[in-house]
Amino acid sequence: MTGVVVGDGEIGPDADLATRARYGRWLVVRTVASSGAGHIGGPLSAMDLWVALYFRVLNIRPADPAWPHRDRFILSKGHSAIGLYAVMAQRGYFPVDELATFDRGDSRLQGHPDMTCLPGLDASTGSLGQGLAVGVGIALGARLRGLPFRTWVMLGDGECQEGMVWEATLAASRLGLENLMAIVDVNGLQQYGLPKVLEASRGDRREPWPGDQLRRVFQSFDWRVLDVDGHDFDSILAACDIARDGKSAGRPTVILARTIKGRGLSFMEGRHAWHARIPTPDEVEQARLELGIDESGRPA
Amino acid sequence: MRSQRETWGATLVELAETNGDILVLDGDLANSTKADLFAEAHPARFIELGIAEQAMVGVAAGLASLGFVPWLSSFAVFLTHRSLDQIRLLVAQPGANVKIGAAYAGLLTGLTGKTHQDVQDLAIMRAMPGMTVLAPGDDIECAAMVRWATDIDGPVYLRLTRDPTPRLFDDTYEFAPGRVHRLREGRDAVLVSTGPQTSRCLAAASILATGGIDAGVVHIPSIKPVDGGAILTAARAVDLVVTVEEHSVIGGLGGLVAETVAVAGHGRLVRIGLEDCWGESAPNAFLLDRHGLSPERIADRVRRELGGSGRVASSTDEHNRGGDQ
Ligand SMILES: Cc1ncc(C[n+]2csc(CCOP(=O)(O)OP(=O)(O)O)c2C)c(N)n1
Ligand SMILES: [Mg+2]
């Protein structure tokens, strides 16, 4: 790899969201390549969502991760952990350099988020489908305790095939949890889908949910549904504002964020093979150029 | 060296050429479990159920009632843990002819960590009445087990690992349920293992031999049913029995051997495995070392249990003394 410095620090407090997202994508690619492990397509599709949440939406104190009044965030699609870590590091939860320990053993940065290791994680996840129910419990607990914080849960669109997601969805609307917000990273791909010989529609595979089925299911469970372009910060932030407006008439809110798996890298976008592939040194270099990262590893 | 998952997928492709009842049901992991080999070869008999393991088990039970032979494709954890009640009630209790292809079992799951490391599956599955529980040591044994499991009528749990495994057997290998394999004789101790951990035990025995300790190796690929008499015979020949497994020390192979020798009122047993703890995401070598499963750590442990490093010098005496039969 062409003399790129690994292990640089912050990019300064004033970086705009787009720069943070570019840098976050680079940290994902770089870390996955050097650890030889981790998922990559899903972290890249969700990157703009995390950057918006962690830098503009969530009421959090990275220096005091256990602050009782913090907004909660649960990454239910836990396999995308490296993307969340890349944003948490930029937000000051831990040094960017610590990303180098990812998956190496005795690390706080486990392959799937482990709340017993890393302060700032509100649930341990990795078995798909489980995070939303924990969010229901936290949102309900907040109401019972009279605490005003909000609970956000990010899910994958493939993940929404799990029955437990719908058990939790029903519970949330029954309980009238308007302090609960789900965000689905609708990147149109899951891990395998179907063999090529059978079907292909979006990218090179079949979508986890055909057409607008996912929206219709959430609607029929009486959730407020918001559609956004998951790569447009204005669109994301506007939806987050609505989600928090307290005017959902007792309904939980789900933001369906239309995204592209592998977003930002021409050779990854929409390709199911990049769900969890390790980029070669050449691909890392191409990623660096496409993301506009200079040779010192910082956004140009 | 071939991985068990590839062997599993390739063997099913081959069996399905002549057996039209074989189906593979996948929980969106076909490119990991290598069910994708089957999907591309027999697309009409590959059923993608998406990320819905519990429903997948139920669907398999339904298909089995019509004479199909459904093989499940997912990671071991999502079957033995996520879908445990379904396996128990819909498969084991009625004796449904469902075959559980439990991929990425054990500790070495490609850095995914504790969420994905199934180190309780043997304990859970062997406590399940009516379930056959198999853990192949290499690709040859794996292929033989896939054939056998497809042929017999009844539920089978097949513990498959991710990475390529060294060969233990040659093409003459024939699988027989319950059979216990004595792969190496030894007078000082016997290492009892299962799955690919057996290869690491053979390597440990070689290390011990260079230090004058004569350790035997017994391979138990059929956790249930199992030939308990053969375990006892091997245990009675030595002073020290050491079980070694990529699994919790509670309830798996260690549990099986402990129950067998204790019921017979015999022996001194040491169990190597996860000491009632979780794994983590880390490279294979790190994990094997951390949990005492690498050949070097196994050898260390055996030396220690036999009385420290001074043991090497006194090994001749031990040889002369023989077993306690
Ligand atoms: C219960 C469970 N089943 C299977 C898996 C394996 N797995 C990890 S990621 C993935 C695909 C997820 O697809 P999606 O939710 O759409 O995530 P994204 O596209 O954002 O990566 C699968 C099947 C898992 N982690 N948990
Ligand atoms: Mg997806």
Tens of pLDDT, residues B74-114 = 999 999 999 999 999 999 999 999 999 999 999 999 999 99
d(CA A23, CA A90): 9
Provide the 3-class DSSP secondary structure of residue B144. Answer: helix
On the question of pLDDT at B312 being above 90, the answer is no
Amino acid identity, position A123: A
CA distances from B100 to B26, B93, B105, B154, B188 (A): 11, 15, 12, 11, 38
Q: What does the pLDDT look like over A19-69, one tens digit per residue?
A: 999 999 999 999 999 999 889 999 999 999 999 999 999 999 999 999 999
Q: Which of A77, A256, A261 to mutate to test the pocket of ligand 1 (most atoms within 8 A of CB)?
A: A77
pLDDT (average), residues A216-222: 98
> What is the predicted pLDDT for the residue at B311?
40
Is pLDDT above 60 for B317? no
pTM across the whole model: 0.95
Locate the domains of chain A by residue range: 16-290
Residue A110 contacts B, CB cutoff 8 Å: yes
Q: Tell me if B78 and A114 make a contact (CB, 8 A cut-off).
A: no
Q: Confidence class of residue A13 from pLDDT cuts 50, 70 and 90?
A: confident
Query: Which of A112, A157, A184, A192 is best to mutate for the B interface (most B CBs within 10 A)?
Result: A192
Q: What is the pLDDT of residue B111?
A: 93
What is the spatial distance between Cα A111 and Cα A103, in angstroms, rounded to a whole number?
Answer: 6
- Residue B325: what pLDDT? 26
Task: Name the pairing type of β-strands B22-26 and B69-75.
Answer: parallel
**Shortest-distance Cα residue to atom 6 of ligand 1:** B29
Looking at the domain covering B4-159, what would its CATH class be?
Answer: alpha beta
Lowest mean pLDDT among A85-99, A198-212, B123-137: A198-212
For residue A94, pLDDT over 90 is answered with yes
Interface size between A and B, measured as CB pairs under 8 A: 100
The CATH code belonging to domain A16-290 is 3.40.50.970
Looking at domain B181-321, which of 3.40.50.970, 3.40.50.300, 3.40.50.920, 3.90.1170.50 is its CATH number?
3.40.50.920
Supply the angle between the helices A41-52 and A17-35 in degrees, to the nearest 10.
150
Task: Please indicate if any CB of chain A lies within 8 Å of the CB of B280.
Answer: yes
The pLDDT tens digits of the residues spanning B148-176 come to 999 999 999 999 999 999 999 999 999 99
Predicted confidence band of residue B7 (pLDDT cuts 50, 70, 90) = very high
Look at residue A38 in the predicted model and tell me its pLDDT: 84
B82 lines ligand 1 (CB under 6 A): yes
pLDDT given at position B319: 34
pLDDT at B303: 97
For chain A, say whether B29 makes contact (Cβ under 8 Å): yes
Q: How confident is the model at residue B318 (pLDDT cuts 50, 70, 90)?
A: very low
Residue A147 scores a pLDDT above 60: yes
Higher pLDDT, A207 or A131: A131
Residue pLDDT, tens place only, A73-87: 999 999 999 999 999
Q: What proportion of chain B, given as a percentage, has pLDDT over 90?
A: 92
Mean confidence (pLDDT) of chain B? 94
Q: Indicate whether residue A158 lines ligand 1 (CB < 6 A).
A: yes
Coil, strand or helix at B6: helix
Q: Does B322 or A222 have the greater pLDDT score?
A: A222
State the pLDDT at residue A198.
62
Print burial letters for A82-99: b (CB count within 10 Å at least 16), e (below 16): bbbbbbbbbbbbbebebb
For B43, the closest of A125, A127, A198 (CB atoms) is A198
Looking at residue B255, its pLDDT comes to: 98
Two domains, one topology: B4-159 and B181-321: yes
The pLDDT value recorded for residue B265 is: 84
Choose, out of A108, A184, A191, the residue to mutate when testing the contact with B (most B CBs < 10 Å): A191
- Which parts of chain A are beta strand (E)? 72-75, 151-156, 180-186, 224-229, 253-258
Quick one: tokens of B191?
A: 């290492």
- Count Cβ atoms below 10 Å from residue A201 Cβ, excluding itself: 12
Per residue in A156-197, pLDDT (tens digit) is 999 999 999 999 999 999 999 999 999 999 999 999 976 766
Q: What percent of chain A stands above pLDDT 70?
A: 93
Report the pLDDT value the prediction gives residue B73, as an integer from 0 to 100. Answer: 98
Rounded distance between C-alpha atoms, residue A186 and residue B170, angstroms: 49
Residue A5 has pLDDT above 70, yes or no: no
pLDDT at A197: 60
Which pLDDT belongs to residue A202?
Answer: 58
The whole-number pLDDT of residue A9 equals 56
Q: Would you say residue A8 has pLDDT above 80?
A: no
CA angle, residues B212, B215, B220, in degrees to nearest 5: 165
**pLDDT for the residue A206:** 77
Q: Strands B240-248 and B189-193: what pairing?
A: parallel
pLDDT band at B262, cuts 50/70/90? very high
- Percentage with pLDDT > 70 across chain B: 94
B179 close to A (CB below 8 A): no
Are the Cβ atoms of B115 and A190 closer than 8 angstroms? no
Residue B320 confidence (pLDDT) above 70: no
- Rounded average pLDDT over A215-238: 98
Domain ranges in chain B?
A: 4-159, 181-321
Q: What is the predicted pLDDT for the residue at B267?
A: 79
Q: Which two tokens stand for residue B90?
A: 């819909």
Ligand nearest to the CA of A164: 1
Is residue B228 predicted with pLDDT exceeding 70?
yes
Quick check: A125 contacting B, CB < 8 Å? yes
